[in-house]
Amino acid sequence: MGLDVAIDLGTSRTRIFLPNKGIVIDEPSVITVNLENNNIMAVGKEAYMMLGRTSSRMDAVFPLNGGVISDFGLVEAMISTMMKRVVSSKIGMPRAVACVPSDITEVEKRAVVNAISGAGIRKVCLIEEPVAAAMGAGIDISSPHGSFVADIGGGTTDMAVISLSGIAVSRSIKQAGNVMDEEIIKYVKRQYNMLIGKRTAEEAKMKIGCVVPGIITGRHRIKGRNLITGMPMWVDLDASEMVEPLRETAETIVSNIQDILEETPPELIGDIYTDGIVLTGGGSQVAGIDTLIRIATELKVTIAENPSDCVVLGCGQAIKYIDLLNKPDRGGINPITDHY
């Protein structure tokens, strides 16, 4: 008996969904390798704890960058390890639905398909991230009605106007959560002459990150290395300081949303005017980003329930469409595409 799975292979986190079980894997997309023999030492949460703390004999890395695979072998090993944790080796895994950014190339799509196939899955179907996010957010994508979804992830922000199970207008930009983390690192280096790691920056973003002054308050202690003395040091960052490093990325996202609205056909823009914009992805939880979009577009902006899980939940819902592939007379337009 085969088992169908849904995979959200994200730059920052990988999530796996099983029918009747829900999300069974939600871990960082990190893998640790022994550099002496290339053996895999840790995957997911365990590997994430090693980031910035490895010896010269090992390396902990994110094998995806900007929504696409940067190290094929490591991605295949990561998926295979995660799948073994949740599926018995006695059960076949013939079919999977996986999400991809809306504007990646055929070569990049093929890399995703091959990496997942290498984990023992015979048939791989792909769905574009904004479509999956819309489904996971509870939007009826099959109706002749325009819906605007912006998925702010780790490596990319995918934005699209969706109607009749397809994308009318879309854009994918590499301005998202990871860029925000990098900007926090630069800010701390410039402001305090202190070097911090990605984990520390991400934690600060999650605790006190905001893009609108005064929207949240509080302080968060970060630890790093003094660039002048070389000695350990710490700083209490105030929430008000986070606006400077995060604002530019947020404004780039807002600008691209405005561009998409300008390209949207008149009938669909009328629907969006009524319904507003739905935000998904972990980046949508940075305080104030919905406010910035609301001010710039003068539209209602809603953050989906459980925004980080919308894409994988949408992938899970799309499993039912696998049986409808190559059957144009059933189920209308299919939101997934077939790749072997």
- Work out the percent of the chain whose per-residue pLDDT is above 90: 81
Tens of pLDDT, residue by residue over 83-104, are 988 877 656 667 899 999 988 8
- The pLDDT of residue 93 is 65
- Kind and range of the H or E element at 192? helix 177-192
- The pLDDT of residue 1 is 45
- Work out the percent of the chain whose per-residue pLDDT is above 70: 96
Does residue 45 surpass a pLDDT of 70?
A: yes
- Kind and range of the H or E element at 55? none
What are the Cα distances from residue 6, in Å, to 77, 83, 100, 281, 325? 17, 11, 12, 17, 16
Tens of pLDDT, residue by residue over 247-281, are 999 999 999 999 999 999 999 999 999 999 999 99
Asked whether 139 and 146 are in contact (CB, 8 A), the reply is: no
Asked whether 308 and 152 are in contact (CB, 8 A), the reply is: no
Tens of pLDDT, residue by residue over 46-81, are 999 998 888 889 999 999 998 889 999 999 999 999
Beta bridge partners of 234: 223
> In 3-state terms, the chain is what percent helix, strand and coil (to 5)?
40, 30, 30
- Mean pLDDT in the chain? 92
Tens of pLDDT, residue by residue over 306-332, are 999 999 999 999 999 988 887 766 556
- The pLDDT of residue 333 is 81
pTM (2 decimals)?
0.92
- Residue located via tokens 């780790």: 154
Tens of pLDDT, residue by residue over 225-248, are 999 999 999 999 999 999 999 999
Angle, CA of 309, 294 and 269, to the nearest 5°: 85
Going along the chain from its start, the domains and CATH numbers come out as: 2-29+65-134+313-339 (3.30.420.40), 137-174+246-308 (3.30.420.40), 177-245 (3.90.640.10)
76 — phi, psi (to 5°)? -60, -45
Asked whether 164 and 142 are in contact (CB, 8 A), the reply is: yes
- 106 burial level (CB within 10 Å; 0-12, 13-18, 19+): exposed
d(CA 188, CA 39): 35
d(CA 283, CA 205): 10
